Chain A
Amino acid sequence: KAGVTQTPRYLIKTRGQQVTLSCSPISGHRSVSWYQQTPGQGLQFLFEYFSETQRNKGNFPGRFSGRQFSNSRSEMNVSTLELGDSALYLCASSLADDYGYTFGSGTRLTVV
């Protein structure tokens, strides 16, 4: 079966721009989470959606937002990009609570 698909794989943006990243979970998975991974901070939780509702949110500024559609696909948006937003953004889906997560390959965002 298809895994978690994230698009695009690589992205270069300029400071001040905004960006939208997309995630298609494994078919049947209703929970989708987003994480930011940087060398300095490691993996940090952004938010989690379940059946189109944001169920959990991490400690990131309001410039980071997301949504989930009825088909469980999810998008995250970052507005007014800063250099520090350069990171690998990972999406993960899960079949149910306490099941492990399946991660996508991530979107490598570089802000210049």
Chain B
Amino acid sequence: TQLLEQSPQFLSIQEGENLTVYCNSSSVFSSLQWYRQEPGEGPVLLVTVVTGGEVKKLKRLTFQFGDARKDSSLHITAAQPGDTGLYLCAGARAAGNKLTFGGGTRVLVKP
């Protein structure tokens, strides 16, 4: 059973469209991280959120951490083919604790 459920599992959109990926859990996390992974490579950290209700923006990417620190979302505005990849959320229960990863959302942005 995944402690972190990501949805959708797969998303295929046209360049210029918006998309949102969700990461939900019944557990509280002290911090939540989002990564993007490309084939044959390790995940690359996009952002870490630690405060309930926190919103972080990185160019066209907006990350939200739920008030109760149980869920998060990643929103991409005007997606580009370079956004294609596997998006992973990962939560830590306590400082220094292991990361629990969601199952991932595979995003395909078609030109």
Interface residues of A (CB under 8 A from B): 4, 31, 33, 35, 42-45, 48, 50, 55-56, 58, 90, 92, 97-106
Summed over the interface, the residue pairs from A and B with CB atoms below 8 Å come to a total of 59
Establish whether residues A106 and B98, one from each chain, have CB atoms under 8 Å apart when the complex forms: no
Which 6 residue pairs across A and B have the least CB separation, nearest first?
Answer: A103-B42, A100-B45, A97-B95, A43-B101, A97-B96, A45-B98
6 contacts between A and B (CB under 8 A): A48-B96, A58-B98, A98-B95, A100-B33, A102-B45, A106-B41
Interface residues of B (CB under 8 A from A): 2, 30-31, 33, 35, 40-45, 47-48, 50, 88, 90, 92, 95-104
Establish whether residues A42 and B104, one from each chain, have CB atoms under 8 Å apart when the complex forms: yes
Distance of A4 Cα from B100 Cα, bound (Å): 20
Chain B residues within 8 Å of A4, by CB: 42
> Distance (Å) between the CB of B51 and the closest chain A CB?
11
The residue of chain A having its C-beta at the shortest distance from the C-beta of B95 within the complex is A97
Q: A100-B45, A101-B45, A103-B35 are in contact. List 4 more A-B contacts (CB 8 A).
A: A45-B100, A56-B96, A56-B98, A101-B33
Establish whether residues A104 and B42, one from each chain, have CB atoms under 8 Å apart when the complex forms: yes
Establish whether residues B48 and A33, one from each chain, have CB atoms under 8 Å apart when the complex forms: no
Establish whether residues B50 and A98, one from each chain, have CB atoms under 8 Å apart when the complex forms: yes
Among A42, A58, A98, contact of B31 (Cβ-Cβ < 8 Å): A98
